[in-house]
Structure 1
Amino acid sequence: MLYAIICTDKAHATNLREETRSAHLEFIKNLGKRVKAAGPFLADDMTTSTGTMLIVECANRDEALAISQEDPYSSAGLFESVEIRPWNWLINNPET
């Protein structure tokens, strides 16, 4: 099952994001093929990150929740909110 992990940064947290970015990217890299897509949400200026979205393959919601909680961004307190939603990759799924 695929899950979308949708994270919104706290306001004025740009420095915290920059300070933990390398640890976050290493964490995502270590998840391997479980990560189907990942990247930041952007502000209207198209340069400032305002959150993160991961599409991950997990057996259940609890596994997706664990990933979200283990993310260095989460551990550093970057996120204002985290939403986990089951997701169906219907269009342009390379595995179908």
Structure 2
Amino acid sequence: MPYLIRGYFRQDVAQARLQLRPGHIRHILSRLQEIVCAGALCGEDQRPQGLFLAVGCTDREQAQLLIADDPYYRAGLFERIEIEPFLQFVPHPNPRILHEELERALQSATMAAR
């Protein structure tokens, strides 16, 4: 099952993050086979406040190992890390998945209304 990893930076790490960024990018490049999607979590000012990784790991432990190997993590830049499983619908191997989910949701709503 895929996992979503969110790492939130401590307030005082902007300079350290910039220095570690090449290593972080190398880490991401080395794990591309496991990464479904990744990016920065930004504030309204567009400054990075953290990162997210959607990863195709087999379990939570594998997801934890992936983030634990990141230079940002090893340097202690994160205030907190959140790891949770998620169900990926887009993109999905079944191109009709959202239509099927809509049909199920409509059936459930109809049953609940009775």
Q: Same fold (TM over 0.5)?
A: yes
Please give the range of the TM-score, normalised by the shorter of the 2 chains.
Answer: over 0.9
1:13 is aligned to 2:23: no
RCO (CA 8 Å, sep 6+): is it higher in 1 or 2?
A: 1
Give the match for residue 60 of structure 1. 59
Comparing both structures, which one devotes a greater share of its residues to strand? Answer: 1
| TM-score, structure 1 as length reference | 0.92
1:8-66 superposed Cα distances (whole Å, 9 cap, x missing partner) = 000121111111111011101111221001111111111x1100000001111100011
Give the match for residue 72 of structure 1. 71
Q: Output the CA distance in 1 between the equivalents of 2:64 and 2:80.
A: 12
Which runs of 5 or more residues in structure 1 are unaligned? none
Q: How many residues align?
A: 94
Provide the alpha-carbon RMSD of the alignment. Answer: 1.0
Structure 1 segments (4+ residues) deviating >4 Å: none
Q: Output the CA distance in 2 between the equivalents of 1:23 and 1:95.
A: 32
> 1:33 is paired with a residue of what secondary structure?
coil
Q: Output the CA distance in 1 between the equivalents of 2:39 and 2:68.
A: 17
